[in-house]
Amino acid sequence: MDGPISTPAVYTDNGPFRLVMPERPLIPVVFASSHSGRCYGAEFLSGVRLRPLDLRRSEDCFVDELFRSAPDHGAPLLAASFPRAFCDANREPWELDPAMFTDPLPSWVNTSSARVAAGLGTIPRVVASGELIYRAKLPFVEAERRIQTYWRPFHDALARLVSDTKARFGFCWLIDCHSMPTSSQVTEWGVRPADFVLGDLHGAACASRATRFVEQFLSARGYVVRRNDPYAGGFITAHYGQPADDVHVLQIEIARRLYMDEVRFERLTGLRGVQRQITDLISSLSSEVHDLIG
């Protein structure tokens, strides 16, 4: 594989997100990590019933680190700073559980989605492992504050990156970066669990050649790769993935057991190896993207 192009990076940290831009955009690809935020504020922690370590079960720990070489290859990397347990940027802006709030929700709020029923709305009721987050109900004004102060700036930045990339190159490929816990990998006896799950909404969000390229790249390196099972894509994949409008989205889920201790939330020595493989993937995408999508 070719090495990184090593274009100087420009960093932006405005609170809700961290954005690393190459000095000069070189490829029509954007990388985003909406669940790797790990800034747990004191005010938030004072109102929850879980320990900080328990809250991190919803977090895509270190995923932004795994994709850190993207700017070296001429692509931006956007990562939320706020944690998923506080506000989930991979949900609709107003996907809320009415049972969580002290006052009635406006009629325009989406209260009936499957994600809300599972307790995993824009303001989650539970962490990914199912434990309740809060000691008491929240006022609706708190949901408004989080959505306007955290969710909205993240998506304003992401939409701008997608729009600018499309304007510059004629199309955009958004890579939506996530991780998955071992507990989500239910397999038959003797069947290896997936190392990567690629989600493209069953072909609706991304060109099939592009999804197949990533699948073959990872499979050739010995990883077990599945498509859309059990993760086909969330709000980001569905909202931004519009191939007819020249915007393609591929969600990549990486098994946490490959690179981190899932109990202590610490990096394993394997993280560097996975990071190198992701860097090789980004390098390959850099040279092939125009043939895959353009």
pLDDT value of position 44: 95
Q: Kindly state the percentage of the chain with pLDDT values over 70.
A: 92
State how far the Cα of 182 lies from the Cα of 106, in Å rounded to an integer. 38
Domain ranges in the chain are 9-85+152-292
pLDDT of residue 182: 85
Taking a C-beta distance cutoff of 8 angstroms, is the pair 218, 144 a contact? no
Looking at residue 191, its pLDDT comes to: 72
pLDDT in tens, 127-185: 988 999 999 999 999 999 999 999 999 999 999 999 999 999 999 999 999 999 986 55
Confidence at residue 2, expressed as pLDDT on a 0 to 100 scale: 41
The pLDDT confidence band at residue 7, using thresholds 50, 70 and 90, is very low
Order of strands across the sheet with 196-199? 9-13, 17-22, 77-80, 29-33, 172-180, 247-255, 196-199, 225-227
Q: What is the pLDDT averaged over residues 183-192? A: 59
The CATH H-level superfamily of 9-85+152-292 is: Zn-dependent exopeptidases (3.40.630.40)
- Judged against a pLDDT cut of 50, whether residue 119 lies above it is answered with yes
pLDDT band for 5, please (50, 70, 90 cuts): very low
Given a cut of 90, whether residue 14 has pLDDT beyond it is: no
User: What's the pLDDT score for residue 294?
Assistant: 66
159: left (phi over 0), alpha (psi -120 to 50) or beta: alpha
What is the structure's pLDDT at 129? 87
Coil, helix or strand at residue 115: helix
Q: Token digits for 51?
A: 């320990």
Q: Is pLDDT larger for residue 127 or for residue 190?
A: 127
Q: For 216-256, how does the pLDDT look when each residue is reduced to its tens digit (9 = 90+)?
A: 999 999 999 999 999 999 999 999 999 999 999 999 999 99
Q: Count of CB atoms within 10 A of residue 34's CB?
A: 27
- Is a pLDDT exceeding 70 seen at residue 86? yes
> In this predicted structure, what is the pLDDT of residue 103?
95
pLDDT score recorded for residue 192: 81
Predicted local confidence at residue 4, as pLDDT: 42
To the nearest whole number, what is the mean pLDDT of the chain?
93
What is the reported pLDDT for 8?
47
How far apart, in whole angstroms, are the C-alpha atoms of residue 190 and residue 213?
27
Nearest alpha carbon to residue 30 among 69, 64, 77: 77
pLDDT band at 186 (very low <50, low <70, confident <90, very high): low
